[in-house]
Amino acid sequence: MTDAITRTSTDDEVARRRRIALVASKGTLDQAYPPLIMATTAASLGWEAGVYFTFYGLDIIHENRLQRLKVASLANPAGPIQLPNLLGALPGATAAATKIMKKWMSDARMPTVPEFIEMAQGLGVRFFACSTTMGVMGVEEDDLIKGCEIAGAAAFLDYAAEADVQLFV
Amino acid sequence: MTSQFAKVTDERVDVELDCSGLLCPLPVYQASLALGQLSPGQVLRLVTTDPGSLEDIPALARQTGSTVLAAERHEDHQLFWIEKGLRS
């Protein structure tokens, strides 16, 4: 079965450089992927891309915590292990769910979160660290991975206002 | 099975990239990096197995000013011939 298509880009489709502004507000392993995948893809399309890491999402760019992101086994009916909440609360259940998710990703040859971060930064994706979250959670600039810009909500909105796509994860 | 059109375009291939077994966003990511190494008018031949790439690769071309000269859909893989555009 073979079919062929021909498509030509028009000038106005790519005349202005597009921009995506993402908010990453969750700090679980599963929720770290979507903003990083979107940002990496956007940058691959030649877009400007920026991610605002806020609240638990700040863990994704926290040098130590990003290595220990987990998948919730409790109150997560779509998670990798289908357990009643009573059992999901048992010691080791979160570790098991996390291990399964990592195996899914690795079997599918998907990059790890640190690898996606490297890919994104390599393509020039800007990482904004929420200054309020840093203050609330006692996170110092040195705790973050390299290349992050500390920004408040106004600075991010100023960036997002010029974006063609804005997504909150 | 290869179409006659594909044979014509194969003579123009400058770089080949095999993204078999890779899921979104990796085919787009790797194709974008490969196109970045090409000069305008050069052609990338891309193999993918992620069915999403049937839409993703034309989207990459549209967004970066390149052109999908031909695309073939086979039972377990897809082939694309992408000509690098003037921009990107």
Q: Domain ranges in chain B?
A: 4-83
- The answer to whether A109 contacts B23, with C-beta atoms less than 8 Å apart, is yes
Q: How far apart are CA B67 and CA B88, in angstroms?
A: 12
Q: What is the pLDDT along chain A (169 residues), one digit of tens a residue?
A: 344 444 455 555 546 799 999 999 999 999 999 999 999 999 999 999 999 999 999 999 999 999 999 999 988 888 888 888 888 889 999 999 999 999 999 999 999 999 999 999 999 999 999 999 999 999 999 999 999 999 999 999 999 999 999 999 9
pLDDT at A169 (0 to 100): 96
Mutate: best of B18, B32, B37, partner A, most A CBs <10 A: B32
- Residues A4, B23: C-beta atoms closer than 8 Å: no
What single-letter amino acid sits at A103? K
Give chain B positions within 8 Å (CB) of A13.
62-63, 65
Strand partners, B46: B17, B80
Q: With 60 as the cut, is the pLDDT of residue B48 above it?
A: yes
- The answer for residues whose C-beta is within 8 angstroms of residue A152's C-beta and 6 or more apart is A130, A131, A132
Of B26, B32, B87, the CB nearest to A14: B87
Domain boundaries, chain A: 22-70+112-168
Alpha carbon distances (Å) from A140 to A23, A53, A114, A150, B73: 20, 14, 20, 10, 51
* Closest A-chain CA to B83: A8
Q: Are A77 and A71 in contact (CB under 8 A)?
A: no
% chain B with pLDDT above 90: 83
Give the type of residue at B25: P
CB < 8 Å to A108, chain B: 23
The answer to whether residues A116 and A69 touch, using CB atoms and an 8 Å cutoff, is no
Continuous segment of H or E residues that includes residue A121: helix A113-122
Tokens of A59: 């863990």
Residue in this structure with the two tokens 């179409």, named with its chain if needed? B3
Q: Can you name the residues that pair with B71 across neighbouring β-strands?
A: B80
- ipTM of this model? 0.90
Nearest residue, CB atoms, B3 vs list A2, A37, A119? A2
Cα separation, A9 vs A61, whole angstroms: 36
Mean pLDDT of B56-67: 97
Q: Do B58 and A7 touch (CB under 8 A)?
A: yes
pTM of this structure? 0.89
Q: Any alpha helices (H) in chain B, and if so which ranges?
A: 4-10, 26-36, 53-64
Backbone angles phi, psi at B51, to 5 degrees: -60, -25
Report the residue of chain A nearest B19, measured CA to CA: A109
CATH superfamily for domain A22-70+112-168: DsrEFH-like (3.40.1260.10)
Q: Is residue A129 helix, strand or coil?
A: strand
In the structure encoding, which two tokens stand for residue A74, read together? 């409790």
Angle between helices B26-36 and B53-64 (to 10 degrees): 30
In this structure, which topology does domain B4-83 adopt according to CATH?
Answer: Translation Initiation Factor IF3 (3.30.110)
| Residues of B labelled as active-site residues | 24
CA distance B43 to A1: 23
Give the one of A7, A9, A41 whose C-beta lies nearest to B28's C-beta.
A41
Q: How many CB pairs under 8 A join A and B?
A: 86
